[in-house]
Structure formats: C-alpha cells, structure tokens
Amino acid sequence: MSDTKALTTGALTIVGLTAANKQDATRQLAEKLLADGRVTDIEGFLEDVRAREEQMATGLPGGIGIPHARSAHVVVPSVAVATSVEGVDFGAHDGPAHLIFLIAAPDGADDKHLHILAALARKLVHEDFRQALRSATTGEEIATIITREVQA
C-alpha cells in the first residue's frame, strides 16, 4: 500500500488510458485502488459508483470525467486518475473526457469526498492545470501536480 495520507500516488494513475466506455474506464481505475489496498471489494465499490452515476452524469465541460462514490468498500479517501487521448464519454455536453478522476470516499467519511470534489473542481476550471495533467508523461508527475494543487 502506498502512502495513504496522499490523496493520489503514481500507483493510482493511468497515463494513456484506452477504454471502451465509462464503465471500463472506471473499472480500470478502481483496479488501481484495489491493488493499492484503498478499496476492499471492487464489485461493491463499482456498484456504488454506478448508483451515483445513475443520479447524474459525471462528465464536466472541458474534457473532464469525475465518477465518484462514498462507499463502505473504501478504506481511505483517494483519487485514481487517468489521461486518455481518445477520450471517454461521461455524459458532458461538450464531448468525451480526456482527464478522468475516480474519487473514492469511505462511507462514514462525513463530507470529505465533497471537499475533494470542490477542491478539484476549483482547479479544473483553469486550463493551465488541465493542460499540465494532460501533458504529464508519468503517474508520479500527475500525482505530484494533484498533491501540490489540490491537497495542499
């Protein structure tokens, strides 16, 4: 398990994700969370993410997808991140997501995931932040940018 104080790490990223659809993209990111010990039951967690997605699409303008859930299967608040050249449809009106953030929060975690979402959303409105993430060539680089800009 990586440093669980960190919101994300290089081990929780996928640079150049190839996914057939949002479910595939979400599963690939959830597998990173599972492998790192941050999620205990991938199917249960993915069901919670699906239930949240049914309430409202999680695609945002600017090529962003933010699937997320509060789940009993999450050990520590975490964000798994992917970049995608082809893009993945998360339901945004302006097209596919090229930056995907799977936000996982423990079930009893008060509103920690909402704070994570809010901090991330505040940064994502800035094109220079989005471009820095899209241009990153390693997971460690992505994790460093997010830790510096969102978790700080």
Joined together, the tokens standing for residue 62 give: 């600017």
Of the residues 68, 73, 98, 113, which is catalytic? Answer: 68
Residue pair 44/73 in contact by the 8 Å Cβ criterion: yes
Cα–Cα nearest to 114, from 124, 125, 130, 103: 103
Helix intervals (H) in 8-101: 22-35, 42-55
CA 114 to CA 6: how far, in whole Å? 17
Asked about 93 being catalytic, the answer comes back as no
Residue pair 75/66 in contact by the 8 Å Cβ criterion: no
Helix intervals (H) in 17-151: 22-35, 42-55, 112-124, 127-135, 139-146
Active site positions, annotated: 68
